[in-house]
Structure 1
Amino acid sequence: MLPIYLVNNFGQFNHLIKRMLRDLDIDAEMIKNDTPPEKVADSCRGIILGGGPSIERANFAPEYVDLGLPVLGVCLGLHIIATRRGGVVKKGAMGGFGRVEVDIIEHGKILEGFPDRISVWASHADEVKVIPKGFTLLAKSNICGAEAIANENEHIYGVQWHPEVSHTEDGHIVYENFDRITKELL
């Protein structure tokens, strides 16, 4: 079975994503975001766009969204998905990392198994202000109107928070759900 590719967008938590995937027995390989899309397209079963400091340093990561593979974006990864598909990302009201209470409006496949309210760890220095056409709002908070979005038809998902950090309650569920989604499409 092909691995899931974790795209390193220079974020401080990418190693924690990789570790969580390993601990969950999810076969994953970390790749640089300057890997040509044609090398990515046929060599993995899904893509996780990791976080990072700046969308300007995303290199080929936006092109990975269009490969027809399941995609999960985490923080900056969500922003890459949103801007690639015509959404708008702007400066958020709160910078820095901290605890946020998130209300799940629609669980969809990626948030299946979570209660209707979860406590997560997130940065809101930048956030999705306009959701791309074809995407559904899955979750919001009193800080951010788009904490999670999805395009179920294309199997593209994004979360503002970091499921891989210990401060996020049951964050592993996001990665387990994504793993299941990729396997269902094989």
Structure 2
Amino acid sequence: MTTNTQITEDRILILDFGSQYSQLIARRVREAGVYSEMYAYDMSEEDIRAFNPNGIILSGGPESVHEEGSPRAPEVVFNLGVPVLGICYGLQTMSAQLGGKVEPGTVHEFGYAEVNIQVRDKLIGDLEDTKDQLKVWMSHGDKVTAIPEGFQITASTPSCPVAMVSDETRRFYGIQFHPEVTHTAKGAELLSNFVHSICGCRSLWNSENIIDLRVEQLRQQIGDQKVLLGLSGGVDSSVVAALLHRAIGDQLTCVFVDNGLLRLNEGEQVMDMFAKNMGIRVIRADAEERFLTALAGEVDPEKKRKIIGREFIEVFAEEARKLDGVNFLAQGTIYPDVIESAATKNGKAHVIKSHHNVGGLPDDLAFELVEPIRDLFKDEVRRLGTTLGLPHEMLYRHPFPGPGLGVRILGEVKKEYADILRLADDIFMQELRASGWYDKTAQA
């Protein structure tokens, strides 16, 4: 029997060199049933050792190993005695650091390619799309021209003689293409071979085990105290509500702020699902008039967003002050939020727009935070919700901005505009569903 603490014991560390696909690597590893975390490439030796990974993956990245100050993997990566997989730039920096040679390519490879398998090592195994070939997705300029001592070339393309390499003794592997994208047909299987066959990880990371672990952790953190959650009806807060209710039952109180800028019948749907069907205590704050008054005359989208965020916090705070003995505030922070926040602090990402959440509460509301899904990707959150019994249409509904129709209305926000837009949106969504296109589109 698997104990709850074991499900993250088998773990893969992903060092991020800035690829747009890095988060996909972590998702694919988790889809293979293995826990993974992603950190910047310059993670300290102390932190790497403390993480105690079963294996390490070096991501791709936009840099060239020839550029002065271009990123390198910490030396401990190659001295830890665990398997290492270098992807694209990860292969190039591993090769350069271990004594190989990397040169600028005369032909840049971007897009579909077929690699010819030369040696079937433990990473490739019996995988192939056609006889001794893999259909892959390339995205690189530089290429490895001389492999480090102890390595062998296991696959190539006409323009990329070193497409895959391995040192089976040290369990170091490198691939010039991107296995994490769906365009690489056998990419998920390659990553599965790495984490299971090479790193020896067990498939312990699944929804049932995650729920058991979270319920145990929430009960330990919260004890017999009360928890407050801002419920929006979106995927993240809905799953947090269901998870908390399973863990602590009536100790949870949700506040649903109806700002008059929701989709058609959304307020009733939220109340029916959580209050009626699940028996969760939900306070509905009807604040339409308040929000519309605050927005009167404002046409700038960013200012509207900030007004809505400010009013939301004030309404939420007023409802919170009416409750006695609440010590915890729950939030639906997810793993990409954590990763992007860290990148912003490091100067490696830029804020495109302000985010609307329950942050910024007044000082007199000093809650301890509860963030039970902060290490999960959105697809994992949805699978968790399915296991918790939430309906498909709630978990797979299209994203809707926190400020709601307020930022979809061009110019000033008025009740009559919101009512028209609500109906138009509902007609459009009905047609998408009737034609079978709703689930095929990510957002509309």
Scaled to the shorter chain, the TM-score interval is: over 0.9
- 2:56 aligns with 47
Maintained 8 Å contact 2:84/2:171: yes
Measure the CA separation in 2 of the matches of 1:11 and 1:69.
23
User: Within 5 A, what are the aligned runs for 1:132-171?
Assistant: 132-171=148-187
What SS is found at the alignment partner of 2:14? strand
**Structure 1 residues 59 and 83 mapped into 2: Cα distance closer, same or farther (>3 Å)?**
closer
Deviation (angstroms), 1:64? 1.5
The residue aligned with 2:18 is 10
1:128 aligns with 2:144: yes
Q: Provide the rounded CA distance (Å) in 1 between the counterparts of 2:49 and 2:95.
A: 20
Give a deviation string over 1:85-115, Cα, whole Å, max 9, x none: 1000111132252111100101100111312
Please report the TM-score for the alignment, with normalisation by the length of structure 2: 0.40
Structure 2: where are the runs of 5+ without partners?
1-8, 202-444
Q: 1:59 to 1:79 in 2, by over 3 A?
A: closer
Q: Which residue does 1:114 correspond to in 2?
A: 127
Does 2:49 align with 1:32? no
One-letter identity of the residue aligned with 2:44: P
Distance in 1, Cα, partners of 2:100 & 2:184 = 26
* Match runs of 1:60-99 below 5 Å: 60-95=73-108, 97-99=110-112
- Counterpart Cα distance in 2 of 1:60 and 1:177: 23
CA 1:155/1:147 → structure 2, altered by over 3 Å: closer, same or farther?
A: same
Q: Report the Cα offset of residue 118 of structure 1.
A: 1.0
Identity %: 34
Q: 1:58 aligns with which of 44, 58, 71?
A: 71
Aligned alpha-carbon RMSD (Å): 1.6
* Equivalent position amino acid for 1:28 in 2: S
Greater helix proportion = 2
* CA 66–58 in structure 1, closer or farther in 2 if over 3 Å, else same: farther
Gaps of 5+ in 1: none
Q: Deviations over 1:18-42 (max 9, x none)?
A: 1212222221111111111232135
When Rg is computed on C-alpha atoms for both structures, the one with the higher figure is 2
* AA partner of residue 143 (structure 1): S
Greater RCO (Cα-Cα under 8 Å, separation 6 or more): 1
Secondary structure of 2:106's match? coil
Task: Say which structure is richer in strand.
Answer: 1
Contact 1:119 1:168 in 2 (8 A): yes
* Contact 2:73/2:93 (8 A) holds in 1: no
Task: Give me the whole-angstrom Cα distance separating, in 2, the residues matched to 1:75 and 1:62.
Answer: 18
Q: Is the CA contact 1:136–1:149 (under 8 Å) kept in the aligned structure 2?
A: yes
Total equivalences in the alignment: 184
Structure 1 length normalisation: TM-score? 0.92
Q: Is the 8 A contact 1:61 1:80 kept in 2?
A: no
Shift, 1:127, TM fit: 0.8
2-structure distance, mates of 1:13, 1:142: 25
Alpha-carbon distance, 1:59 to partner: 4.4
Give secondary structure in 2 for the equivalent of 1:98.
strand
Please state whether the residue corresponding to 1:72 is helix, strand or coil: strand
